[in-house]
Amino acid sequence: MATILCDLDGTLLVKTHRDPPDSPGPKRLALNRALAEVCDCPGVDFVQGMVHGLTDWLIAEKAVQVHKPDFKLDGPTWQAVVGRAQAVFMPPAPGAEPLYEKLPGIPETLMALKKAGHTLGIVTGNVAFFALYKLDQVGLDRGLFNGPVGFGDHGREREHILRLAMARSEDPAMVVLGDTVHDHAGARAVGLPFLGTGSMGLEERELQGAEGAAVGWVADLSEVETVIKLVDSLVME
């Protein structure tokens, strides 16, 4: 049995549509305001730093660098940004169209993994308050994830967030579940096996040839038995 450290965006859930140019989503609005105030950067836009698979910390830094090329977002400043963003975050009104939806196989595969004896954790570059909001948006029970968690509040690189989750568990068998080469690089850096899902375009060839722990790939998470077998084989190697 293993602890599976699950990424969120592109792995378990996805945004239903891009923000209209004149209507930023609630996370973007909150982070824009926080970055403008804390980093003294009027006009900053979080989306300008967006690279799928990076942590919110790095995305925020890249967004500010559009206006201040030499800017570095250090730990204390990032904590201040996160605190301010959480304070001003305004979720959509009740009954509004959901901003996120579950990807194929969710939650059925997660529940099957739990039934097979595995433990589910979360490792995501999202700041905690918004990661939990996304789970609620798509109707994923937080109780499914009773394993260790790591959020983008306290990790500049994905490797750092993985190490945080690992430190919060005594389970020697862990597998990272993700959908980008950044997830894979983080798993390699901490020596954990990686299961990639191609739901958002990750191709099996992108995971080949790199040194490190064992790697598996599935087109998406809808084939329950295939996912369970791959997790078991990754733990065995």
Domain limit, last residue, from 39, 63, 88? 88
Both structure tokens of 39: 């980093």
User: By residue range, what is the domain housing residue 151?
Assistant: 3-16+99-236
Q: pTM for the complete prediction?
A: 0.94
Percent of the chain residues topping a pLDDT of 90: 86
Does one domain contain both 40 and 139? no
DSSP string over 197-222 = E-TTS--GGGGSS--SS-EEEES-S-
Does one domain contain both 55 and 168? no
Which pLDDT score is estimated for 21? Answer: 65
Instruction: Give 125's DSSP letter.
Output: S
Helices (H), 20-172: 26-38, 56-65, 75-88, 108-115, 128-138, 158-167
Does one domain contain both 71 and 126? no
Residue at 230 is within a domain:
yes
Closest by Cα among 156, 151, 132 to 76: 156
Domain limit, last residue, from 58, 88, 118? 88
Does one domain contain both 110 and 214? yes
Domain limit, last residue, from 34, 60, 88? 88
Residue at 126 is within a domain:
yes
Residue at 93 is within a domain:
no
Does one domain contain both 81 and 154? no
DSSP string over 58-71 = HHHHHHHHTT-TT-
Q: What is the pLDDT of residues 15-35, one digit of tens each?
A: 987 776 677 889 999 999 999
Q: What is the pLDDT of residues 97-155, one digit of tens each?
A: 888 999 999 999 999 999 999 999 999 999 999 999 999 999 999 999 999 999 999 99
Residue at 59 is within a domain:
yes
Does one domain contain both 68 and 163? no
Q: How many domains does the chain have?
A: 2
Query: Mean pLDDT over residues 77-90, rounded?
Result: 97
Instruction: Give 177's DSSP letter.
Output: E
Residue at 94 is within a domain:
no
Does one domain contain both 75 and 135? no
Which pLDDT score is estimated for 24? Answer: 84
Contact between 49 and 60 under an 8 Å Cβ cutoff? The reply is yes
Does one domain contain both 77 and 142? no
Residue at 135 is within a domain:
yes
Q: What is the pLDDT of residues 36-78, one digit of tens each?
A: 999 999 999 999 999 999 999 999 999 999 999 999 999 999 9
